[in-house]
Structure 1
């Protein structure tokens, strides 16, 4: 189910939402130029972490290969940061909605999540 196009679209939209939320949080958290710098730096750092530290063949060779459980921890930490940022900005309903969508996504992607817990590359991506 993990490689279904709808699920991949949902995952991509969740990733974009995470980047947008932490950018907005950074902009509102700090005044003036510091807010602008934070709004640029935080999502940039998150995107770099997301793209560089991956498990092998997920879906391409990883620039820096890490164990599956560590990759899951990285994903969950970044998503949890976005949920927390929504909560911190006072968007409680948005935080609950994002958290629910993330839980649903990881449940639907059980095959990838299970493969990552076992520290094995997900076979659905190997070509």
Structure 2
């Protein structure tokens, strides 16, 4: 396996990690933002909704393939919401590290045809 092939595999691993981190950040947001029993509803509901929408419409193996412009908007929402969630809970540095990582990852996916 050459170095470029290894980097492409690592980029896909980073993408999957960013998706998992997105779900985790919404759990954290729900626990921080909600009051009383709403903490649990938000901590479970927000990542569940995001995961369902991404699984149906956005993931590479989804049954419903969206047109490229709509898929790009969905990606911006799916990977942008965790940034907003982290930023609003005071995790500013982590929010910026996450979104910069997501942007670099997406650029590399485009350059390497990993779509």
> TM-score, with normalisation over the residues of structure 2?
0.85
1:23 counterpart (27, 34, 43):
27
Which structure 2 residues correspond to residues 1-127 of structure 1 after superposition, within 5 A? 4-54=8-58, 58=60, 60=61, 62-111=62-111
Tell me which residue corresponds to 1:116. Answer: none
RMSD, matched Cα: 2.2
Instruction: Report which of the two has the higher share of helix.
Output: 2
> TM-score, with normalisation over the residues of structure 1?
0.77
Runs (4+) of structure 1 moved beyond 6 Å?
A: none
Contact 2:31 2:39 (8 Å CA) reproduced = yes
Deviations 1:9-45 (CA, angstroms, capped at 9, x unpaired): 1000000011100111011111121111110011000
Any stretches of 5+ residues in structure 2 without a counterpart? none
Question: What secondary structure, in the 3-state scheme, does the structure 2 residue paired with 1:4 have?
Answer: helix
Alpha-carbon distance in structure 2 between the residues aligned to 1:65 and 1:102: 21
Q: Give 1:6 shift.
A: 0.5
